[in-house]
């Protein structure tokens, strides 16, 4: 089962303005386009303006009529873009599968990540608060649609988890209009058939929705039943994938090679599993290291053969780490990626130890199958269990 996160920066433009001018939090304020150039609508508002009834998308004059003391701020797009990039960079520390949805929202596929979706969601919220001064709502689920719904359910600064066990209770009572791609027109057409909630969509015969709304009706039925399988698209959607990587910021700083090896092994496991799932293997292994002073370095090595084996990726990553990291400071986060990709089924040059490697592929594929069926924790490497021999610094 996949683990998908959807993060949504709360009242994004307005919140960024409040970061720079904290006194704006105490008055109703809205970021509005310039009426002189026909952009005179509310782009974002703070909580006080929201309480006064100000709505995003309405004309400035309407908003001022509702809230006469509304403080109006002009938008500063370069600043918002900078904050959006910083948030995306934080997300990219956990997975390279980060798909933007507008400036302030994105999906992340963290399937197989050792920290788990809810823990990562909590960390995203903490880091957005501390590093950017913003709050973020995060939905955690097993598909993109429910993850997005989750991030909308509780705001601000909240995590909502939607699972195969609870989606009927949490999602189905919501109005149909809360579902992605159900706009006012679709909502009206659904209402005409007495379909008013997401549960109503889910329980309707699939054919009925197809007849009523065409292909998109069937798509909504799939969404409402939690059956969406669409992948989280990486940067440059539609283009061939150039690399597969995972990174993690550990709960406590890593202070020795043994600790680094444990993390690199877990990352290599995840990268290899994702490579094989996409029928890919790669020749270049890259390790990125961020120390506790937030300085990042990355080093890479080109192998003499392409691989999608966790054991080979980890061996190479560890050798790179040992050769280049001098332990001047403890390590805060590590990343492993594999690039120079080619098809796993393709014309692969045989190495001297082909038989042994075939057996390793069989073994890692079998491990992957078990994890897909029974969850990632169903089978773990002995080297990743416990941790008595690994010494961590205390948390800051």
Partner 1 sequence: MAHRVYVRVQVDVDESGKTRPLRIFWEDGRSFAVDRLLDVRRAASTKAGGQGMRYTCRVRGREIRLFEDDGRWFVEARDAAAE
Does position 395 interact with partner 1 (CB under 8 A)? The reply is: no
Q: Enumerate residues 6+ apart whose C-beta is below 8 A from 302.
A: 283, 284, 340
**Residue 103 makes contact with partner 1 by CB under 8 A:** no
- Under the binding rule (CB under 8 A), the answer on residue 126 touching partner 1 is no
Touching partner 1, residues 27-46 (CB under 8 A):
none
Element (H, E) at 297: strand 296-307
Question: Looking at beta carbons only, is 135 or 284 nearer to partner 1?
Answer: 135
Catalytic residue among 105, 114, 123, 312: 105
By beta-carbon proximity to partner 1, the closer residue of 78 and 388 is 78
Active site residue 105: yes
**Sign of the dihedral through C-alpha 286, 332, 368, 388:** positive
DSSP percent split of the chain into helix, strand, coil, nearest 5: 45, 20, 35
Closer residue to partner 1 in complex, CB, 220/289: 289
**Tokens encoding 343:** 């098809």
- Find all residues with CB under 8 Å of 385, minimum gap 6, and list them: none
Residue nearer to partner 1 on the CB measure, 12 or 83:
83
Could you say whether residue 295 binds partner 1 (CB under 8 A)? yes
Work out how close the CB of 293 gets to partner 1 at its nearest, in angstroms, rounded to a whole number.
Answer: 5
In the complex, minimum distance from the CB of residue 9 to partner 1, in angstroms, rounded to a whole number: 13
The minimum distance between CB 299 and partner 1, in angstroms, equals 13
389 binds partner 1 (CB under 8 A): no
Q: Which is nearer to partner 1, 124 or 275 (CB)?
A: 124
Q: How far is the CB of 256 from partner 1 (least distance, A)?
A: 23
Rounded (10°) CA dihedral 331, 333, 339, 343: 120
Q: Indicate which single residue of 33, 133, 177, 231 sits in contact with partner 1 (rule: CB under 8 A).
A: 133
Report the nearest approach of partner 1 to the CB of residue 20 (Å): 5
Pick one of 51, 82, 85, 324: the residue that binds partner 1 (CB under 8 A).
Answer: 82
Of 51, 44, 8, 17, which Cα lies nearest the Cα of 157?
8
The continuous run of DSSP H or E covering 9 comes out as strand 4-9
Put residue 156 in one of left, alpha, beta given phi > 0 → left and psi -120 to 50 → alpha.
beta
Give the Å distances, CA to CA, from 146 to 2, 65, 92, 165, 315. 12, 36, 21, 13, 38
Calpha distance 178→328 (Å, rounded): 51
Write down the least CB distance from residue 86 to partner 1, Å: 7
Task: Pick one of 20, 77, 327, 374: the residue that binds partner 1 (CB under 8 A).
Answer: 20
Question: Which residues bind to partner 1, rule: CB under 8 A?
Answer: 19-22, 82-83, 86, 129-134, 293-295, 297
Q: Which residues are known catalytic residues?
A: 105
């Amino acid at each position: 089962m996949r683990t998908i996160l959807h993060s949504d920066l709360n009242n994004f433009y307005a919140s960024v303005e409040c970061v720079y001018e904290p006194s704006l939090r105490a008055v109703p304020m809205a970021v509005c386009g310039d009426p002189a150039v026909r952009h005179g609508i509310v782009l974002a508002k703070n909580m006080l303006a929201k309480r006064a009834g100000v709505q995003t998308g309405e004309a400035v004059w309407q908003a001022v009529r509702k809230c006469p003391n509304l403080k109006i701020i002009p938008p500063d797009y370069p600043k918002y873009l900078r904050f959006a990039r910083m948030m995306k960079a934080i997300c990219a520390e956990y997975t390279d599968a980060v798909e933007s949805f507008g400036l302030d929202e994105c999906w992340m596929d963290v399937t197989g990540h050792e920290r788990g979706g809810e823990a990562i969601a909590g960390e995203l919220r903490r880091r957005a608060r501390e590093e950017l001064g913003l709050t973020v709502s995060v939905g955690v689920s097993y598909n993109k649609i429910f993850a997005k719904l989750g991030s909308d359910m509780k705001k601000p600064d909240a995590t909502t988890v939607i699972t195969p066990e609870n989606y009927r209770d949490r999602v189905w009572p919501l109005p149909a209009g809360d579902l992605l791609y159900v706009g006012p027109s679709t909502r009206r057409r659904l209402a005409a058939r007495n379909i008013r909630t997401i549960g109503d969509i889910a329980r309707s015969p699939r054919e009925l929705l197809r007849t009523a709304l065409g292909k998109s009706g069937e798509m909504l039925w799939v969404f409402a039943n939690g059956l969406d399988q669409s992948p989280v698209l990486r940067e440059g959607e539609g283009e061939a994938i150039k690399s597969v990587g995972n990174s993690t910021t550990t709960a406590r700083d890593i202070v020795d090679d043994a600790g680094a090896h444990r993390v690199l092994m877990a990352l290599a496991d995840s990268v290899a599993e994702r490579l094989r799932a996409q029928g890919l293997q790669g020749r270049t292994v890259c390790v990125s290291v961020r120390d506790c002073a937030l300085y990042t370095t990355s080093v890479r090595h080109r192998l003499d053969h392409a691989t999608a084996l966790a054991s080979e990726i980890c061996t190479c990553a560890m050798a790179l780490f040992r050769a280049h990291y001098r332990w001047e400071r403890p390590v805060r986060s590590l990343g492993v990626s594999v690039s120079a990709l080619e098809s796993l089924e393709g014309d692969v040059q045989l190495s001297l130890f082909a038989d042994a490697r075939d057996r390793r592929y069989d073994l890692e594929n079998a491990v992957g199958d078990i994890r897909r069926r029974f969850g990632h924790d169903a089978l773990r490497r002995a080297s990743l269990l416990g941790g008595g021999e690994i010494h961590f610094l205390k948390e800051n």
